[in-house]
Amino acid sequence: MLPTPEKFFLTAAAAEGHDHLTAFDKALLEAGIGNINLIKVSSILPPSAKYTPDLVISPGSLVPTAYGHIVSEVPGELISASVGVGFSTDSFGVIMEFSGKCTKEEANSQVEYMLRESFANREMELIDMKIKGIDHKVEHIGCALAAVPLWY
């Protein structure tokens, strides 16, 4: 059984590469999470998790992470990725991620909408949220990435 994460942060970055994987890898590096092993998780923030924006995680660590990304090889295309965390008064939080062919503002708006809906679906009060996004105009092969790494 894995321990429950106690810390988290939001990050977003974009980059170019010579192929899809290297564009994704460079975006991870730009986001500050390129030297850890991401374990993709779904959408629940543990109740005790604290926002820790300056968190440093050792290279090679296995890190539960909710993330969204998009890669495009269409020069001039605008791509974006966004993540958000919604907070309740006394319970767990919810994480939402979005990526698409749109502006950062549109991606952030979509994440906000999904957070509000997810809290309504759970009949929980949404008291606050943090959202982070990025957009990128593709030059050759570009990647936009947004993530919420969780740590212990």
**Which residue is catalytic, options 42, 58, 121, 123?**
42
What span, in angstroms and rounded, lies between the C-alpha atoms of 77 and 136? 8
Main-chain dihedrals φ then ψ at residue 49, nearest 5 degrees: -70, 135
37 is catalytic: yes
Half-sphere exposure of 108 (CA within 13 A, CB side): 12
Instruction: Verify whether residue 97 is a known catalytic residue.
Output: yes
What is the C-alpha to C-alpha distance for residues 89 and 98, in angstroms, rounded to an integer? Answer: 25
From the candidates 35, 37, 48, 91, give the one annotated as an active-site residue: 37
Which of 43, 61, 88, 109 is the catalytic position? 43
Is 73 an active-site residue? no
d(CA 143, CA 80): 8
Q: Which of 72, 80, 82, 97 is catalytic?
A: 97
Q: Which residues contact 56 (CB under 8 A, 6 or more apart)?
A: none
Instruction: Just list the catalytic residues.
Output: 37, 42-43, 97
